[in-house]
């Protein structure tokens, strides 16, 4: 007998992987499913919606436990139709789907920043490869660790924390490496993970070392990354990377699938 999925997640596809990555690792639905499955305590479904080309979104009459926004090579502050629609949709989620948690990864983190009163800007340098994020007190509670190594692949960033959000961590390059917003009228900073309404990270917990190595190689060949940046990223790609498990567990705690240990 097939197990009935305990949780239903919607994945907003904000991009398509570069052809070599797509051929070897599949699309972002496959990549995100493999990542979330690492720490999933129960069976789940991950329904994908192409918000770029089809501008399609989860149906209003379907209940989701979480809405997940993927990364993208696009710029979150660009004035184009699909990005503007995504920002509007995201800003309305607490009203249109109040029971769904909102999870943003990299570009998704930036879209959420815009949607809830913040900004997204172009940084002075690329932030690529496994990087240590120094966590705030709230970040340490949510991720259950003092610091977090995570894959990075961004230049754009959210420079401040939007109103009503709490900072999770920072690096020397980007101040806002992740943030949370609690469900209104809950207890605030010391609330349970399941009281979180929105969780974002600037890094890529879904990226493997192989995926990052491929992206760095392609972008270096195209002149997007300097040789020095590419070499540094490849060197740091050998560092430990706890993010797939650590951030994955935090996501499931926010959704309510994993009870916190404290």
Q: Which domain holds residue 120?
A: 7-126+154-203+247-255
- Whether 238 is in a domain gets the answer no
Digit-coded pLDDT (tens) for 74-92: 999 999 999 999 999 999 9
Q: Which burial class, exposed, middle or buried, applies to 244 when counting CB atoms under 10 A from its CB (0-12, 13-18, 19+)?
A: buried
- Whether 61 is in a domain gets the answer yes
Digit-coded pLDDT (tens) for 191-215: 688 899 999 999 999 999 999 999 9
- Whether 122 is in a domain gets the answer yes
- Whether 82 is in a domain gets the answer yes
- Whether 132 is in a domain gets the answer no
Q: What is the pLDDT of residue 1?
A: 40
Q: Which burial class, exposed, middle or buried, applies to 62 when counting CB atoms under 10 A from its CB (0-12, 13-18, 19+)?
A: exposed
Overall number of domains in the chain: 1
- Whether 70 is in a domain gets the answer yes
Helix (H) or strand (E) holding 60: none
- Whether 181 is in a domain gets the answer yes
Q: What is the pLDDT of residue 184?
A: 74
Q: What is the pLDDT of residue 3?
A: 57
Domain containing residue 41: CATH number: 3.40.50.880
- pTM comes to 0.94
> Strand 7-13 and strand 44-50: pairing?
parallel
Instruction: Enumerate residue ranges in the chain where pLDDT < 70.
Output: 1-4, 185-191, 260-262
Using CA atoms, how far apart are residues 220 and 201, in angstroms rounded to an integer?
24
- Whether 72 is in a domain gets the answer yes
């Amino acid at each position: 007998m097939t197990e009935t999925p305990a949780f239903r997640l919607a994945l907003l596809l904000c991009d398509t992987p570069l052809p070599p990555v797509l051929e070897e690792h599949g699309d972002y639905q496959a990549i995100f499913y493999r990542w979330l499955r690492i720490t999933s305590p129960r069976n789940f479904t991950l329904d994908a919606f192409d918000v770029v080309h089809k501008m399609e979104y989860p149906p209003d009459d379907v209940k989701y436990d979480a809405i997940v926004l993927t990364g993208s090579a696009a710029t979150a502050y660009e004035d184009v139709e699909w990005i503007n629609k995504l920002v509007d949709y995201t800003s309305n989620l607490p009203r249109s789907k109040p029971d769904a948690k909102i999870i943003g990864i990299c570009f998704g983190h930036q879209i959420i920043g815009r949607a809830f009163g913040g900004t997204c800007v172009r940084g002075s340098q690329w932030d690529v490869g496994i990087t240590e994020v120094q966590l705030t007190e709230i970040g340490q509670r949510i991720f259950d660790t003092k610091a977090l190594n995570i894959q990075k692949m961004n230049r754009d960033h959210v420079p401040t924390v939007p109103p009503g959000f709490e900072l999770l961590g920072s690096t020397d390059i980007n101040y806002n490496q992740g943030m949370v917003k609690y469900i209104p009228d809950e207890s605030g900073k010391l609330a349970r993970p399941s009281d979180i309404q929105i969780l974002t990270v600037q890094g890529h917990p879904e990226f493997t070392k192989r995926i990052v190595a491929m992206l760095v190689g392609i972008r270096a060949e195209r002149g997007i990354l300097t040789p020095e940046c590419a070499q540094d990223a490849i060197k740091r790609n050998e560092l430990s990377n706890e993010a797939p498990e650590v951030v994955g567990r935090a996501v499931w705690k926010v959704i309510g699938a994993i009870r916190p240990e404290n």
